[in-house]
Structures are given as structure tokens and as C-alpha cells.
């Protein structure tokens, strides 16, 4: 199929990859994959795989969807439409089955006479009067259970940190940062209690965290609102696909941005002391 035929092809019949390639190669503003890959900080081979529908080149569904959304936005397409098509192609969303006429069996409704209701009510009242002690005891037990639950579950679960001074101990309560955006999903919650450095994605951004030996600790495309709790250690370094798209919190305080917009940056020290030299946002 040549370029002209592809343009005329119905959008409804196109795959997500065909829509992306069509948007990039037709119209007044034709663009090269290499140029877009550099701008989005996404590998050229991944963008090519998206256009060709060769999704096995990209390791996980979350990366496929994240890269496709960024690509669609850059090309001026509706990202939700591209993501919906991709989910159908990947089998994440099944195609709706043809509707079949379902004939519900007829239900016979048995009517209850007014006289029967009065009879049942009278029997119920007599039973309660006869066994009122049981009902009273049960009510007391339920009431006591509710009171105990309120007492034992009403305690705060904040992290308590004791700070020793020369004269006595001062107990302070530390809480989570006051994130600027609604939280969508939390990653590595096992580090939540001790984490001194916390990341929140303002925009869609790929992040990789490595230890001092170069081993990958965390690698993922964070969507807007996603939270990542870093392990409490000083030997971690990070690579940001778009360093300006991520909020960095240190000891509950928001740092200034670590770099300009649409900038890939590697080897960023995640040590709390090193990060504090950047300065805190007002």
C-alpha cells in the first residue's frame, strides 16, 4: 500500500501503528523518526516497532502504552484513541461479542396476603417477648464490640521518630509529603516508611534507578501522579527521560527542578545530601 492509498484508508480500519505512521509521514509537516525519538527521549527502534506493530521489541505492555501515548501527543493525534486501539491489539481489552437475544425465564411472584403478614408479625412479637434476655445480651455484646474496635483502630499510624536532646526526649510525627498532584499509583511501598527521597511524576516520564554497581533497582514509565519511594541509601543514581517532568521530595520538602523541560539526564545522584544542594522550591 503506497502513501496515497494509506491516507485514504478509513481511520476506523487502521491499526494504531498505521495511524502513527500516517500522521508522521503525510500532510505538510513530515517528520523523521530519528528527530522525534531524540525529542521524546525514546529509542528510535521502539518508535519504529510501534509503527510496524512489532510489539515484541518493547519489553512490557506498560512501556508500549506509555511510548505510544507520548508519540501520539507529539504527532497531534488523540492519545486516548491510540491507547484504546493498542489495548484491543494487545488483548488487554477483548472485542465485544455479538449481542445475543436473551429470553429471561418468566418468574412467578407469589403474593403475600395482608392476613399472613399480621400473623407473622404477631408470632415475631411473641417470640421476642419470650426470649427478650437473649436479644438484650446480643445487643450489649455488639455494642461492646463496636466500642473496642473504635478504641483499637482509631490510633494514628504515622511514623514516630524519637529525637534525643541533652535534657529529655522530644517525640515528633513525620508524615508523607504534601504531593502537588493526586496520587495515581504507588511503587515500592516497602520503602514508604523509611524513604527520604520520593518521586512523583508531573508528566509521563521514564525513570531508571541504579545502584553503585550499575544494577537496575527500578525502571519504569511513570504516569502523571505516580509515586516512587527510593530505598534509604546514598549510593543510588538515576536516569530521567524528562527530568523536568518529575517532582523530587527530600525529607518531605519539594526540591527545585533538576533540569530544563524535555531533557534526558543520566548519573543524577539520589543521595539526600547531594539533592539538597539543588535548593528547595518556595
For the chain, give every domain's residue range: 12-90, 186-276
Instruction: Provide, rounded to the nearest whole percent, the portion of the chain with pLDDT above 90.
Output: 38
**1 contact partners, CB below 8 Å, separation of at least 6:** 9
Predicted local distance difference test score (pLDDT) of residue 171: 39
Mean model confidence pLDDT for the chain: 81
Let me know: does 198 contact 230? Beta carbons within 8 Å: yes
Q: What is the pLDDT of residues 152-208, one digit of tens each?
A: 775 444 444 444 444 444 433 346 899 999 999 999 999 999 999 999 999 888 999
Q: What is the pLDDT of residues 83-133, one digit of tens each?
A: 998 898 888 876 554 444 445 555 555 566 677 777 778 787 888 777 778
Q: CA neighbours within 13 Å on the CB side: how many for 61?
A: 10
What gap in Å lies between CA 31 and CA 20, rounded to an integer? 11
CA angle 178, 179, 180 (to 5 degrees): 115
Q: What is the average per-residue pLDDT within 122-146?
A: 83
Report the topology of domain 12-90.
Answer: 434 Repressor (Amino-terminal Domain) (1.10.260)
Residues forming beta bridges with residue 172, ordered by sequence position = 161
User: Comparing C-alpha atoms, which of 253, 256, 252, 231 is closest to residue 243?
Assistant: 256
Phi, psi (degrees; rounded to nearest 5) at 66: -65, -45
Amino acid at each position: 500500500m503506497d502513501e496515497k492509498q494509506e491516507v485514504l484508508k478509513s481511520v476506523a480500519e487502521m491499526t494504531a501503528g498505521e495511524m502513527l505512521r500516517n500522521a508522521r509521514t503525510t500532510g505538510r509537516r513530515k517528520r523523521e523518526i530519528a528527530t522525534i525519538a531524540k525529542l521524546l527521549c525514546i529509542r528510535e527502534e521502539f518508535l519504529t516497532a510501534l509503527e510496524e506493530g512489532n510489539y515484541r521489541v518493547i519489553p512490557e505492555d506498560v512501556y508500549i502504552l506509555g511510548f505510544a501515548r507520548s508519540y501520539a501527543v507529539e504527532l497531534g493525534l488523540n492519545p486516548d484513541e491510540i491507547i484504546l486501539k493498542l489495548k484491543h491489539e494487545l488483548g488487554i481489552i477483548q472485542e465485544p461479542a455479538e449481542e445475543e437475544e436473551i429470553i429471561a425465564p418468566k418468574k412467578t411472584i407469589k403474593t403475600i396476603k395482608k392476613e399472613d403478614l399480621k400473623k407473622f408479625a404477631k408470632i415475631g412479637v411473641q417470640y421476642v417477648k419470650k426470649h427478650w434476655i437473649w436479644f438484650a445480651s446480643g445487643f450489649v455484646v455488639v455494642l461492646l464490640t463496636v466500642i473496642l474496635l473504635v478504641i483499637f483502630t482509631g490510633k494514628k499510624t504515622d511514623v514516630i521518630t524519637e529525637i534525643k536532646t541533652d535534657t529529655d526526649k522530644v517525640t515528633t510525627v513525620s508524615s508523607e509529603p504534601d504531593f502537588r498532584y493526586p496520587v495515581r499509583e504507588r511503587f515500592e511501598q516497602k520503602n514508604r516508611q523509611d524513604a527520604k527521597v520520593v518521586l512523583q511524576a508531573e508528566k509521563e516520564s521514564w525513570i531508571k534507578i541504579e545502584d553503585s554497581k550499575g544494577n537496575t533497582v527500578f525502571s519504569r514509565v511513570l504516569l502523571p501522579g505516580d509515586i516512587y519511594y527510593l530505598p534509604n541509601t546514598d549510593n543510588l543514581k538515576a536516569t530521567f527521560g524528562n527530568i523536568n517532568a518529575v517532582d523530587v521530595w527530600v525529607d518531605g520538602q519539594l526540591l527545585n527542578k533538576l533540569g530544563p523541560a524535555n531533557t534526558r539526564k543520566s548519573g543524577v545522584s539520589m543521595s539526600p545530601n547531594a539533592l539538597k544542594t539543588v535548593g528547595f522550591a518556595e
